[in-house]
Structure 1
Amino acid sequence: MALEEITITGNRGWALWKIEEDENALRALAGTVDQPPATVHNTKKRLEWFAGRAVVKAIMEQLGLPFKGIVKDEFGKPFPKAYDYQLSLSHSYPYVAALVDRDISVGIDLEQPKDKLLRVAPRVLHRDELADAGDDVIKHCIYWCAKEALIKVYGKKDLTLAENLLIGPFTRETAGNIPGRIIVNDIETIIPLYYKVYPNFVVVFNKRNAL
């Protein structure tokens, strides 16, 4: 079982999985409550699909709740089936992360730092964010993950990364807090975020409490 990390705090939990199993092993760990869509043919995508269920199952069981599967709303946002809980999933093979919370909408994103982030940055970062990130690919990765986490908190797709989702400047460390803002129709919502830098990837998710 490749559950790398799990943290449970009250009615909230997040976990990280590294895929080391084959599909049959992951299928057994995920249980049989869900089956992948017929359109998921790619081997890595199937492994990510099963690992996503396995990691959510691990969190739910730590929260004292039997895992009954995952359902999605009309916007594609996932939820734990049969429970009034919020859920967010992210994967960048071979890593999968999940965040579950009873009370607030959640967003988690996991990415591996790659040079392509520097190339797309002018399209997704505000000019102030571009200036703050410079040519630091890990910092660019944190910005990218933070914006993806905010999209998942919002739960809909009609946002522009560089305009509706803004991240405050920060000094990069191995872990830390950063302020996020969702701006829609001139209404600004402050979302506190937490990031953690691992040797091969970055994880960002929203916190419960203000910074």
Structure 2
Amino acid sequence: MPERAFRTEILYMPLYKTIAVNENTTIRIWKIEESYEELLQDINPTAACLQRVHSMKSDIHRRGFLSVRQLLRASGYEAEALYYDTNGKPHLKDNNYISITHSFGFSAVIISNAPVGIDIEKQREKITVIADKFVDYEFGYLTQEDLVRKLTVIWCAKESLYKVFAVKGMSFKDHTKVIPFLLEDRQTASWIHYGNQIQKYQVPFLEFEGFTCAYALRAPLSPEK
């Protein structure tokens, strides 16, 4: 990331975690503990940004939305640098790639010079009830041991793939595969099979405070710093 982003990062103590994936890709995770008013400070929201946040009925959704803007600021971007296309996919005006996620008390952004996707999910038993909606091939290696945690990794991996690929009609169950993994590996690989396209992605993941975060990228990984 540019040096300006590094200098800015030092000033943002509420950042929960920063991961330098490689020299061109950085993840920043925010633990959402501030009030709505506190999160509004210093982000210079655009009119469209304010209109969107005011339309949200849930306080946690509003604060999640604003925490992402704080993450942008910590990455050296003003709120106006972010825009969404007609499919709802976020973009940065400097042509870097960005992916955004928030779940309950955490939010995250990943910014890179190559296509990337990220997802955070809370580990909950209810995922076992809906597993057949997004799992197919993976049932072949899943067992009852750590099932909730492994299903959450699979969901996050597939959501990250979807954010990278961003094609309408893409199905988690039919068009994505997550290869067998161990939780201690903190990384797996995933495939997209859609039409005549076959793409492989590296998908590192981490767990913290009952949450799982996974991110997908096609560029080779360097060791985590």
TM-score by length of 1: 0.88
Structure 1 residue runs of 5 or longer lacking an equivalent are none
CA distance, structure 1, for counterparts of residue 119 and residue 195 of structure 2: 25
Percent of pairs identical after alignment? 22
Residue 165 of structure 2 is matched in structure 1 by 154
2:85 is aligned with 1:70: no
Q: What are the superposed Cα offsets for residues 79-119 of structure 1, whole Å, 9 maximum, x if unpaired?
A: 12x211111011111100110112x1110000011111111
SS, match of residue 30 in structure 1 = coil
| Conservation of the 8 A alpha-carbon contact between 1:16 and 1:97 | yes
CA distance, structure 2, for counterparts of residue 68 and residue 76 of structure 1: 16
Q: What are the superposed Cα offsets for residues 145-176 of structure 1, whole Å, 9 maximum, x if unpaired?
A: 00000000102332111110111011121x52
Residue 121 of structure 1 is matched in structure 2 by 131
2:18 is aligned with 1:6: yes
Alignment of structure 1 residues 49-68 onto 2, 5 Å: 49-59=65-75, 61=76, 68=80
Residue 151 of structure 2 is matched in structure 1 by 140
Amino acid paired to 2:142:
A
Structure 2 residue runs of 5 or longer lacking an equivalent are 1-12
Q: Do the aligned partners of residues 32 and 167 (structure 1) sit closer, same or farther apart at CA in structure 2, a change above 3 Å counting?
A: same
Residue 67 (structure 1) shift: 5.3
CA distance, structure 2, for counterparts of residue 36 and residue 43 of structure 1: 15
Q: Do the aligned partners of residues 30 and 156 (structure 1) sit closer, same or farther apart at CA in structure 2, a change above 3 Å counting?
A: farther
| Conservation of the 8 A alpha-carbon contact between 1:86 and 1:105 | yes
2:47 is aligned with 1:47: no
- Output the aligned Cα RMSD: 1.9
Residue 123 (structure 1) shift: 1.5
2:35 is aligned with 1:22: yes
Residue 144 (structure 1) shift: 0.4
CA distance, structure 2, for counterparts of residue 125 and residue 55 of structure 1: 32
SS, match of residue 75 in structure 1 = coil
2:44 is aligned with 1:31: yes
Q: What are the superposed Cα offsets for residues 39-76 of structure 1, whole Å, 9 maximum, x if unpaired?
A: 213211110110011112212x2xxx555342111111
Residue 140 (structure 1) shift: 0.5
CA distance, structure 2, for counterparts of residue 140 and residue 76 of structure 1: 26
TM-score by length of 2: 0.83
Q: How many residues align?
A: 203
| Conservation of the 8 A alpha-carbon contact between 2:45 and 2:79 | no
Residue 209 of structure 1 is matched in structure 2 by 220
Amino acid paired to 2:196:
D
